[in-house]
């Protein structure tokens, strides 16, 4: 299960609307950084039949089978702290992260 908070879903929905097209977003992982894995977000214009699809607050999140192993149970939020804003990932599978926060381990 992948969960988007209402704030994250609204932010994604606004991007899709301003973009003018899209089925939702794809959430995945890639090998990166000093800890091993990094989150990847991209728009989905055409669904992949192998993806698992989750829907939260009217927004679809597509996850490929290989990434789902690392992301199952994840909550994605969109937060603003002072001048900084962006997505935050609360991943119960994450065991650690690098000092800069760019990558994580499971």
DSSP 5-52: -HHHHHHHHHHHHHHT--SEEEEEEEEETTTEEEEEEEEESS--TT-E
Give pLDDT, residue 30. 84
What domains sit in the chain, N to C, each tagged with a CATH number? 3-94 (2.60.300.12)
Residues of the chain with pLDDT under 50: 98-101, 103
**38/57 Cα distance (integer angstroms):** 25
Give pLDDT, residue 43. 95
Sequence-separated (6 or more) residues with CB below 8 Å from residue 106: 36, 37, 70, 93, 94, 95
Judge if pTM exceeds 0.95.
no
């Amino acid at each position: 299960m992948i969960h988007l908070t209402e704030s994250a879903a609204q932010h994604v929905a606004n991007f899709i609307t301003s973009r003018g097209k899209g089925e939702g977003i794809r959430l995945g992982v890639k090998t990166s950084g000093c800890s091993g894995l990094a989150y990847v977000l991209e728009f989905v214009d055409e669904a992949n039949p192998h993806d698992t699809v989750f829907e939260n607050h009217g927004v679809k999140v597509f996850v490929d089978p290989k990434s789902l192993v690392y992301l199952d149970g994840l909550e994605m939020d969109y937060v603003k702290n002072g001048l900084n804003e962006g997505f935050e990932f609360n991943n119960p599978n994450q065991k650690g992260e690098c000092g800069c926060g760019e990558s994580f381990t499971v």
